[in-house]
Amino acid sequence: MKHFAHTLMGRIIFGGLAMHSLLVPLLFAGVVIIIKEGFQSNFVDEVRANSYLFASLIAHEQDPHVRSEMLEDALLGGQFVYAELIDEQDPQPAPKQLLIESNAFQEDFFFGQHGDNIYFVSMPLPLPNGVEAPLLHLGYDEEPVLALINRTYRVFLYLTLGYALMIVVFSGIFGPVLSAPLRRLQNDVRKIASGRYDRRLTVNSKIVEIVNLSRDLESMRQQLVKHNRELEYQSLHDSLTNLPNRVLLQDRLEQGLMHAQRHQLQLALLIIDLNGFKTVNDTLGHHSGDMLLQQLAMRMQAKLRESDTVARLGGDEFAILLPAVAGVESVARSTRKLMEAIDQPIVLDDKAFRIGMSVGIAMYPLHGTDAATLMRHADIAMYVAKRNHLDYTFYDESADENSLSRLSLMWELRHAIEHGELMLHYQPVVDLGLGHVTGAEAVVRWRHPRHGIMSPEDFIPLAEHAGLIGPLFNWVITEAFRQGAAWRHKGLNFNVAINLSARNLHDKELAHTVQKMMLTTETPPENVTLEITENAFIADPINAMENLHRLNKMGVTIAIDDFGTGYSSLVYLKKLPVHEIKIDQSFVADMLRNKDDLSIVRATIDLAHNIGCRVIAEGVESEATLAMLTSLECDKAQGYYISEPLGAEALEDWLRNSSWSAPESQLA
């Protein structure tokens, strides 16, 4: 019953009953009062009229006996219950006929005045003027009127009960009819709430409110459909390029695999990482970077079939799904066409830029039979291509093991940086003019629990790829400056050189970090050398130039490391605040046997001196090589002939016993 009372039909029935339970009694009481007053008023008017008429009849008769008979006949006829004629002028008693006691007469002026159920009237006889008229006292029975009023009460009560019953019956009949459209709307709304909103809301009803409600709900459904489609599109597409995102790519890849399995077709998945995008993004800002990504997305789509899918995975990483390919050669041709389109200059802010890309390719069924495996294998192939500076490469099973081991090394390297598993070795640098050690190059080593001592070449690329180059550099510079301060306290005052990666050079906080560490360790700027490679500078020349000028103003020595292996020239380097150039060991090691290498070393020394730079030769492994460098007026040298990289304590021991030790050194 409680549930029924909360339904529309229940509200209609109970609401109707509640309303009529208030209104019907009021109506009943009002009608009863009106009827009662009507009956009583009619009774009084009729009594007064009859009394006057009877009095007129009595007045025409002068014979007392006749008058008495008239009174008696009226009483016997039931017209009156009391009749008495009073004439004070007649000494004889006036004739009276009584059905009640004579002393009961009390004249009434309204119905039921004295509560005796008799309406008494005193009416003078109508006689000629001047004649004192006798009084006619009459009494009328009020019981018939009261009985009529009571009968009317009962009839109206029955009608009221019948009316209430009809309300219940008709509410039960018309309630479902009225609530049926609303129930249909309710069912449709529930379907919409459960996700089934493709059906149009229509209700066959002539009730204006229900029709309007139906229209409003239909409008809401249409808006919901529109918004849901927009949300669905946004959840499956990249907001910047409008390309499918990783979720939609995954779905299409799974669909493509099922189609390929069913029809015995091949399928290719390409993972693409852009080269040089970060430089554009950092140099021109994120807005230009976004425009570049949009242009590249359009170029990729223009070079592919309608059935192919280009997706943006995030950042500067894209993926391409090629269903129904003919084979490896076909995929390779499509990849080369794609790279040709990407290689075309892109104009941003009236400047042309070229963006390269590294592509990893995995094919079904050659490299995997499920979506997850193909994604992982294509990703591995992409990193192999990026690491080996290849445009594209197909997945190779051997690279998978290397990739897994690299992933493990990344986590171990992070742990090593945070828990002191790294150490610095120092390779002495000899000033050939002075004939003694004037500095040392700090070389980081990793004491790996399984692989032993690992050189920088084994883990620096990992640090750059894993985003650990910043924490690694902070550890190196902290340790090198701390060790330099310790040596100065021992009387060993020479320069310490630290290598910078490309990411270090482009870090806007580089100069601040170096200056802070110099102040903390009280390191003079002339005791600090920062080494950069040619390629590191060329990757982002604007930002690199700003950092180099900041460091130069601080008095820090700047050196170009591995010179000759990059793409720069001495003329170009003349514009940079560079103080030293280090000739790569690949030229120094064979200069005595290879005339071309000797010519390169000689020309480099001469040209470097002409632009005001000192020259350091790396990879000196023999006395003859050192003598040749001295004759060529090379400024400094380092290599295994002089000393291999040593730990801090081992370097101190070496300096105590070495002929290269500075004479003024106070190291005991």
Measured between alpha carbons, how far is 405 from 382 in angstroms, rounded to an integer?
A: 16
List helix spans (H) across 490-632: 502-506, 510-521, 534-539, 541-553, 570-573, 585-588, 595-610, 623-631
Residues 349 and 421 in one domain: no
Of 372, 395, 418, the domain-final residue: 395
- What's residue 634's pLDDT? 96
Please give the residue that has the higher pLDDT: either 355 or 268: 268
Confidence of residue 88 (pLDDT cuts 50, 70, 90): low
Is 159 part of a structural domain of the chain? no
**Beta-strand pair 636-637/614-617:** parallel
* Residue 668 confidence (pLDDT) above 60: no
Among 102-111, 394-403, 464-473, 482-491, the range scoring the smallest mean pLDDT is 394-403
For residue 120, the SS3 value is strand
Least confident stretch, 90-104, 299-313, 600-614: 90-104
Q: What is the pTM of this model?
A: 0.49
Query: Of 117-121, 294-298, 532-536, which gets the smallest average pLDDT?
Result: 532-536
Q: Do 428 and 390 belong together in one domain?
A: no
Position 20 confidence tier, pLDDT thresholds 50, 70, 90:
low
Local confidence band at 484 (pLDDT 50, 70, 90 cut-offs)? very high
Give the CATH number of the domain where residue 511 resides.
Answer: 3.20.20.450
Query: Is residue 567 pLDDT above 50, yes or no?
Result: no
One domain, residues 219 and 279: no
Residues 6 and 70 placed together within one structural domain of the fold: yes
299 in any annotated domain? yes
Question: Considering only 43-47, 162-166, 421-425, 576-580, which range has the smallest mean pLDDT?
Answer: 162-166
Specify whether 227 is located in the same domain as 273: no
Q: 268 Cβ partners below 8 Å, 6+ apart?
A: 321, 322, 325, 331, 334, 361, 362, 363, 364
Asked whether residue 137 carries a pLDDT value surpassing 80, the answer given is yes
The answer to whether the Cα torsion of 68, 69, 70, 76 is positive or negative is positive
Bridge pairing between strands 346-348 and 266-275? unpaired
Residue 390: the pLDDT is: 86
pLDDT tens figures, 173-216: 766 666 677 777 777 777 777 667 667 766 676 667 667 777 77
Domain count, the chain: 4
Token representation of residue 636: 């400094």
Task: Examine the pLDDT at 54 and tell me if it is beyond 90.
Answer: no
Q: Quick check: is 189 in a domain?
A: no
Partner residues linked to 528 by β-bridges:
496
Is residue 98's pLDDT more than 60?
A: no
- How far is the C-alpha of 365 from the C-alpha of 264, rounded, in Å? 9
pLDDT band (50, 70, 90) for residue 571: low
Q: Mind listing the pLDDT tens digit for each residue in 219-268? A: 777 777 777 777 777 788 888 889 999 999 999 999 999 999 999 999 99
What domain range includes position 294? 251-395
Task: Tell me if 168 is assigned to some domain.
Answer: no
Residue 154 in any domain: the answer is no
| 169 located within any domain | no
- Residue 92 banded pLDDT, cuts 50, 70, 90: low
Helices 64-76/8-59 angle, 10° precision: 160
Average pLDDT over residues 330-349: 85
d(CA 140, CA 81): 6
What pLDDT, in 10s, does the model give residues 384-439? Answer: 888 788 889 999 876 665 556 666 777 888 888 888 889 999 999 999 999 999 99
Is the pLDDT higher at 268 or at 455? 268
Q: Which of 86, 115, 149 is the last residue of a domain?
A: 149
> Which pLDDT belongs to residue 93?
46
Residue count (the chain) = 668
Do 261 and 325 sit in the same domain of this protein?
yes
Q: What percent of the chain has pLDDT over 90?
A: 30
Mean pLDDT computed over 466-485: 89
Residue 298, pLDDT > 80, answer yes
In a domain, 183, yes or no: no
Domain boundary pick from 85, 115, 149: 149
Contact of 641 with 626, CB cutoff 8 Å: yes
Confidence band of 363 (pLDDT split at 50, 70, 90): very high
Q: Which of 34-48, 263-277, 576-590, 621-635 has the lowest mean pLDDT?
A: 34-48
Q: State the average pLDDT for the chain.
A: 82
Please determine, for residue 63, whether its predicted confidence score (pLDDT) is greater than 70.
Answer: yes
pLDDT in tens, 502-520: 788 888 889 999 999 999 9
pLDDT over threshold 50, residue 94: no
Residues 333 and 384 in one domain: yes
Q: So what's the pLDDT on residue 476?
A: 93
pLDDT category at 497 given cuts 50, 70, 90 is very high
Q: What are phi and psi of 663, to 5 degrees?
A: -60, -35
Residues 232 and 266 in one domain: no
* Residue 217 falls inside a structural domain: yes
User: What CATH number does residue 369 fall under?
Assistant: 3.30.70.270
In terms of domains, do 444 and 377 share one? no
Decide: 83 and 139 in contact? Cβ < 8 Å: yes
Please compute the mean of the pLDDT values over residues 589-605 and round it to a whole number.
Answer: 90
